[in-house]
Structures are given as C-alpha cells and as structure tokens.
Amino acid sequence: MKHISHTFLSFLIFMACVVPGASALTVATEPGGLADAVGDAFGAFELTVTGAVDASDFDFISEKMPALRSLDLGGAVISAYDGAPTLTGRTSSPANVLPDCALMLPQLKQLALPADLEAIGDGALGGSGITDVVIPAGVKSIGVSAFAECKSLKAISVPESVGTLGAGAFKGCTALSTAVIQAAVPEVPDELFMGCVGLAEVQVPPTVKAIGNDAFNGCLSMSAFVFPTSLVSIGDRAFYGSGIATADFGVCSNLKSIGGWAFADCNSLATVDFNPSVSSIGTGAFFNDASLMMDVLPAQVTKVRDFAFRGIGGGNKELAVAEAVDSIGAYAFANWSHVQKLVLPESLEYIGDGAMANWTALDSIVAEAPVKVPALGADVWRGVAQKDVKLVVPLALMGDYEAAPQWKEFDVTSKDLSTRIDITDAAVATDGVTARFSGMMLDIDAPVDIVDVTLFDIRGRGYRFQVQTDGEHASVDTSAWNAPVMIVRVLLSDGTVAALKLSRGH
C-alpha cells in the first residue's frame, strides 16, 4: 500500500510540473537562441520555429523538451555551427543540414523540415516516433541510418534531388508500407529497407545498377519487385527472408552476379527467370525456397556454390547442368525430390559434399560429356538408391567410373555397348572411320590423320597394343588378345572420336 501511495504521489508531482507548461509554442529565433526564445519548455507539446537554428538548438530540443510531439521547422533555416561539442561530440555542422542524430526523439510524432534543407545527417531522425514526413525537394543527401528504427513511419518518398542515399537509411521502419525512390541513384544501398516487415510496395528508379547487401532483408510483406533493366549486381542477403513471389531477371541483360543467400528462405518465391548474362550465383542464393520451381541454370555460370539451391520445391524432371560449370558445391542441390535425369557437362571436375543428397526420384545420370571422372566430396549421393540408377559414361572411362568410390555404386554402362555390330571384314562408324580384320591384324582407315587407338573389352576395360600409324591409316596386332568382341576407340587429329564394336567371328 505504501508503494502504491508513493508511486501515485510521484505521478502527481510529475503532472504538476508538466501540465502548467503544456502548450503549443511559436517562436522566432537566431542561431543558438532557441533556449532563450522558448524558456521553460519542459511541458511543451508543439513547437513552431521561424528564423534560424543551429546544432546547439537541436541539443536543447533533445534535452529540455521531453514532451514534444510536434515540431514545425518549415519556416526556419539551419545555420552553420562552430562551437562547443554537441551531444554527439561534434564541434561543427554545415548550414542547411539537419545534424547527425539531431532529433532521435521517440515521442516526436509530427515533423515539418526546413524548406531550404539540403541534407539529412547520419541518424538524424533515428528512432523517432514520426508517422509521416515530407523530404524537401532540395535535399541532396540522406545520411546513414537517417530514419532507421522510425517504427511508426508509414510512407516515404525520396525526391529527385537526392544524389546520395546512406546505408540503412530506413532500416527497421516496421510500419513502413510504401516507399518511392524518385531520385536517379545508382544503387539501393546496403540495409536500406532491412527489417521493414510491413513494406508492401516499393519503387526504385531505372538508374539502379546495384542492390546492396541486406537491402530488402526481412521485407515479409513485399511480394513483388520490378528489377531495373540496368541492374548489374544483387548483394548478399539482399532479399533474404522477404515475401517476394517472382524474380524476373529477363530484362536485366547486364546482370552479372547474385550474392550469397540473396533470396534464401523466401518461402513464397515460386519462379525465377534468369537472364543468360548471369555468371555468378553466390553461396546459398536460393537456399530453402520451398515454393521455387526451377528449370535451368544460366549458361555462363561456372561454379554452383555451396547450398545455392538446397531444398527448392521442384521443377523439370531433367536437370542439365550448365555447360560451363566446373564445380558443384556442398549441398548445392540437396533435397531435390523431383529430378529423374541428371545430365553433367563436359567441364565438370568436382561435386561437393552431399550435393545431390536425397534425390529420391533419380533414375539416370548421363555423364558422357566430362573428359574425366569428376572428383567427389563426402556422401554426394546420400539417400539415393544408387544401384537402381543407370550411369551412362563414355566407353573409354567406363573402367575408371567402375573403380571410383561412390561412382561405382551406380549401374555403370555406356551407349557404345548398346548396339552390337557383328562383322567379319569391315565396320563403318560415324565420321567415316572404318575397321577391318586381316587375321589378327586390325586395319583402320579414317578421313583425317589418326592420333591414337585404344581397345576395350565389353566391360569398358582398356588395353593398349603397339599401333602403327601412317596418316589416315593405322594397324594393330591383336594376336596377344583373343577376345571375340572388342570396342575400338579412334582419336582423330581434328579432335573427334569414333567408337566401333567389332566381332572377330570366332
């Protein structure tokens, strides 16, 4: 009971101090003279200022006007300041600039900025309670975190005059629902709208070439975004956890890179239209996008980074990895349940840990293009019934695949073994290569010079014999090998390869 009485008494004392001074004030002042013009302003709710103010006057507002709800500076100008350290430690501030951290007032709801304002300083209104604000048409720059954590701000429009937008300028403005950037800025800065969970509509100018790191991170209400045609890069986590439903890069012919985790955990993202210009997709770029249906990778991508497409929702039953890809990172395609056929490119050299883990629908892999057996990380095919998956490889590499850890668990085969050619005197393969037995001597003729000849048994094991070549003709003595069926692989000087399956008629 004593505690309640004490609290109530304290409240009465506070009200006695506030209420008598509660008022709407209009003052005219000179730089540094606001304190004298206002006097005891502890209880003032509204303040209209004409004349001129400077950085020291904003200190007075922050320290001595705790009840201020409305501030009208529309008829005032901000003068340069050069004097004692302000609350933020600055000893100087230029004219026509709202100083750094000038009005970080949670209780401030309404604000009119000076008509002649040219710049808004770093954190100038950070954490304030403003619900709306008009940025004057002459403002040229908006500082870092200038409006950050203004949790009641509902809409913002950046005028055409702005040439510089600071990082995180509107970060954490959770009530912000619309944002229009009219200024011809070259980028959407880092963290510009990070954590703006209510942001449903945003417009950026066609001049934007870069979307910075975390620019729209956590913008849950943003289901649509028009990507500028001039866009070159999208930063790390730029749209992480956002509500974006479609990412259409089709008109972005200059887009080169999509950063790490850029669209990760976007639960509503259903379609992505890549422009062929994209050459780099970062780690985890589309991680855990459970609604995403993906068909193809951009043709210029050379590396599929770790976790890049782990856990996406679905797509075509066949995935042909882009021809330029030389490596697939750890868990890059893990937990795909829709792909039945995987086609590997010629350039592929490495597949990382668990890259294709839990591909439950996989029934065939076509690896005819790689020039050597790709190296594998740990548990690349974890959860895949490998013995039921047909692995189609070049005849010349069949033995290597059958001996390689993880690869050998598949049903390894070669198309070169799929059609038997039974002959006793000659065989004609593609590219005009012919082969003929004269007893145990194998004679081969080709339309261009023969570089190399290799013989294989029907399981793909290679055997080398002494080969005599003379331009477009080669002879091989096979008397040391009595196999009734053999595969002959002929490498030609123009880079082509012919494969013939021969029976000696034993």
**Whole-structure pTM value:** 0.81
Q: Is the residue at 104 inside a domain?
A: yes
| pLDDT at residue 19, rounded to an integer | 40
Tokens (6 digits) for 216: 């729209």
Side by side, which strands form the sheet with 350-351? 187-188, 210-211, 233-234, 257-258, 280-281, 303-304, 327-328, 350-351, 375-376
Query: Do 402 and 457 contact (CB within 8 A), yes or no?
Result: no
Tokens (6 digits) for 421: 């050619």
Query: CB-based contacts of 314: which residues, under 8 Å, 6+ apart?
Result: 292, 293, 294, 337, 338
pLDDT band per the 50, 70, 90 thresholds, residue 417:
low
Owning domain of residue 456? 427-503
Q: Is the residue at 482 inside a domain?
A: yes
Q: Is the residue at 39 inside a domain?
A: yes
> End of a domain among 70, 96, 117?
117
d(CA 256, CA 248): 14
- Label residue 117 left, alpha or beta by phi (over 0 means left) and psi (-120 to 50 means alpha): beta
Q: In Å, how far are 5, 119, 310, 442, 465 from 479, measured between CA atoms?
A: 114, 90, 54, 10, 10
Q: What is the CATH number of the domain that holds 26?
A: 3.80.10.10
Q: Per-residue pLDDT for 3 more than 70?
A: no
d(CA 207, CA 182): 10
Q: Per-residue pLDDT for 506 more than 50?
A: no
Q: Which has the minimum average pLDDT: 267-281, 349-363, 369-383, 469-483?
A: 469-483
DSSP assignment of 474-486: EEEE-TT---SEE
Q: Which has the minimum average pLDDT: 12-26, 36-50, 247-261?
A: 12-26
| pLDDT at residue 21, rounded to an integer | 45
Q: Is the residue at 49 inside a domain?
A: yes
Q: Per-residue pLDDT for 122 more than 60?
A: yes
| Range ranked top by mean pLDDT from 128-137, 392-401, 468-477 | 128-137
Mean pLDDT of 112-118: 98
| pLDDT at residue 419, rounded to an integer | 43
At 322, is the secondary structure helix, strand, or coil? coil
pLDDT tens, position by position, 260-271: 999 999 999 999
Residue 72 φ then ψ, to 5°: -115, 105
| pLDDT at residue 12, rounded to an integer | 32
Q: Is the residue at 441 inside a domain?
A: yes
The partner residues of 187 in beta bridges, in order of sequence, read 210
| pLDDT at residue 205, rounded to an integer | 97
Higher pLDDT pick, 55 / 477? 55
Mean pLDDT of 428-440: 73
Mean pLDDT of 160-166: 97
pLDDT tens, position by position, 133-158: 999 999 999 999 999 999 999 999 99
Polymer length of the chain = 506
Q: What is the CA radius of gyration of the chain?
A: 36
d(CA 282, CA 304): 8
Give the strand pairing for 450-456 and 485-492: antiparallel
Residue position matching structure tokens 């850890």:
405
| pLDDT at residue 459, rounded to an integer | 63
At 64, is the secondary structure helix, strand, or coil? helix
Q: In Å, how far are 107, 210, 257, 292, 463 from 249, measured between CA atoms?
A: 43, 13, 11, 15, 51
Q: Per-residue pLDDT for 420 more than 80?
A: no
At 345, is the secondary structure helix, strand, or coil? coil
| pLDDT at residue 460, rounded to an integer | 63
Q: Per-residue pLDDT for 212 more than 50?
A: yes
pLDDT band per the 50, 70, 90 thresholds, residue 437:
confident
**Residue (of 237, 233, 231) closest to 216 by Cα position:** 237
Q: Which has the minimum average pLDDT: 219-223, 295-299, 430-434?
A: 430-434
> End of a domain among 117, 133, 161?
117
Tokens (6 digits) for 194: 């990070």
Number of domains in the chain: 2
| pLDDT at residue 1, rounded to an integer | 37
pLDDT band per the 50, 70, 90 thresholds, residue 17:
very low
| pLDDT at residue 461, rounded to an integer | 66
Q: Is the residue at 411 inside a domain?
A: no
Q: What is the CATH number of the domain that holds 466?
A: 2.60.40.1220
Q: Is the residue at 491 inside a domain?
A: yes
Mean pLDDT of 50-58: 97
At 325, is the secondary structure helix, strand, or coil? coil
Letter string b/e over residues 190-227, b meaning 16 or more CB atoms within 10 A of that residue's CB: bbbbbbbbbbbebebbeebebbbbbbbbbbbebeebeb
Q: Which has the minimum average pLDDT: 4-18, 154-168, 216-230, 445-459?
A: 4-18
Percent of the chain with pLDDT over 70: 91
**One-letter amino acid identity for 203?**
Q
pLDDT tens, position by position, 283-327: 999 999 999 998 778 889 999 999 999 999 888 899 999 999 999
Query: CB-based contacts of 45: which residues, under 8 Å, 6+ apart?
Result: 22, 23, 24, 67, 68, 69, 70
> End of a domain among 65, 82, 117?
117
Q: Is the residue at 298 inside a domain?
A: no
Query: Do 104 and 91 contact (CB within 8 A), yes or no?
Result: no
pLDDT band per the 50, 70, 90 thresholds, residue 421:
very low
| pLDDT at residue 369, rounded to an integer | 93
